[in-house]
Amino acid sequence: MIDWLYSFGRDGCTYLGLTWCFADWWQSGLWPVVWILLGIGLLLAVLFFSVAYLMLWERRLIAFMQIRLGPNRVGPLGLLQPIADSLKLLLKEIIRPDRADKFLYYLGPIMTIMPAMAAWAVVPFGPELVLANINAGLLYVFAIASLEVYGIIMAGWGSNSKYPVLGAMRASAQMLSYEIAMGVCILVVLMIAGSLNLSVIVQEQARGWFASHGINFLSWNWLPLLPIFVVYMVSAMAQTNRHPFDVVEGEAEIVAGHMVEYSGMGFALFFLAEYANMILFSVMGSLLFLGGWGAPLGFEHLTFLPQWMTGLMNTGWIWLGLKTFVLFSLFIWVRATFPRYRYDQIMRLGWKIFIPVTLLWLVVVGAWMQTPWSLWK
């Protein structure tokens, strides 16, 4: 389908009687650029739509857990609430404090949102459904995602106010601490997959005895790497400054942390970045540990099903979307359930528990791979 669309866009103008479709400047020069820009535009549109309605899902799910109704006034069943919130923030004035550093103040939100957008360039949604299928995709995603902390530091320092500086200091210490544990988690996955290419990592999870017998979900990485999967998800919550690790914007202590002095679209960009990163870490968790776009069962073995149903159940991006939705909902469930950690507890968890656990499991998996009982030969 993708190849057909690419060929139709490249050669389709011949149906309009235009002969320049076969010129080299179009075939090998301009059209590939146009195709990539169309892909980027579609990806960003889907991402912004997902952010808007996953925010609504968060509010409705927390309301359900607290036996409330949640947003239900704007539009049918409250479905237009994200649009109303977006318009409200777009139309509000950005008020800059007099003594703020103008350059850093405006650059902070941009530096926060840009890594969250750029990381999606190498995320595969199917075997061939990726903007840039590079061999160092795993390294690229987490290297780009780690740049977000610079935007938060710029926003805190540029605001020239006490609460934002305190929030930025907390954010930088917390995010750097949990990046180490997450880096070791990625190292374990890299070791068993033997590649930094995200598509290869997904394909490696479709191998093994269970996968050959149609029980695909038991061949995914979550089972042998369960402690690593747990550490990854908790570290993702700390990386995105989500509850119970949201001391960066602890309302009772420092109001909204680095976002105190922001309003309008500047404030909205921080929210967009937070939810875009939550979706990104959920997708990466699905790719690294839950088989990516792979179906949990081998539906091709179910010969009694109609062919169209079997084809639908083997549609990769649908399964990837469902797994991402479940992991995203895990962020929300944790927020509605657990109290906020103290700052010293957060640091202790990252340095004294997660780093030793991940390093220990790295050694265990390395030794396991050298035995006759290795799952990854």
**pLDDT over 90 at 14, yes or no:** no
Tens digits of residue pLDDT in 163-222: 888 888 888 888 888 888 898 999 999 988 888 888 888 888 888 777 777 778 888 888
* Domain locations along the chain: 1-89, 92-369
Tens digits of residue pLDDT in 101-153: 888 888 888 888 888 888 888 888 878 778 888 888 888 988 888 888 888 88
Q: How many contiguous H segments (helices) and E segments (strands) does the chain have?
A: 17, 0
DSSP labels, 266-294? HHHHHHHHHHHHHHHHHHHHHHHHS-TT-
Confidence (pLDDT) at 43: 83
Helical packing angle, 148-158 and 102-118, nearest 10°: 160
The answer to whether residues 264 and 93 touch, using CB atoms and an 8 Å cutoff, is yes
Helical packing angle, 102-118 and 264-289, nearest 10°: 30
| Tokens 């695909």 found at | 216
327-to-3, 230, 286 alpha-carbon distances in Å: 31, 11, 8
Confidence (pLDDT) at 231: 93
- AA letter at 342: R
Cα–Cα distance measured from residue 336 to residue 343, given in angstroms and rounded to the nearest whole number? 19
- AA letter at 31: W
- What count of other Cβ atoms lies within 10 Å of the Cβ of residue 312? 12
The answer to whether residues 244 and 280 touch, using CB atoms and an 8 Å cutoff, is no
The closest of 163, 123, 362 to 260, measured between CA atoms, is: 163
Peptide bond into 244 cis (omega under 30): yes
**Residue 62 vs residue 216, higher pLDDT:** 62
Q: Which two tokens stand for residue 287?
A: 């790719």
The closest of 350, 329, 239 to 59, measured between CA atoms, is: 329
**pLDDT over 80 at 38, yes or no:** yes
Helical packing angle, 162-193 and 226-239, nearest 10°: 150
Rounded average pLDDT over 254-270: 78
CA quadruple 3, 6, 12, 18: dihedral sign: negative
Confidence (pLDDT) at 377: 67
**pLDDT over 80 at 298, yes or no:** no
Cα–Cα distance measured from residue 2 to residue 126, given in angstroms and rounded to the nearest whole number? 11
Residue 302 phi/psi, 5-degree rounding, is -90, 85
Tens digits of residue pLDDT in 321-335: 889 999 999 999 998
Q: What is the CA radius of gyration of the chain?
A: 23
Confidence (pLDDT) at 296: 78
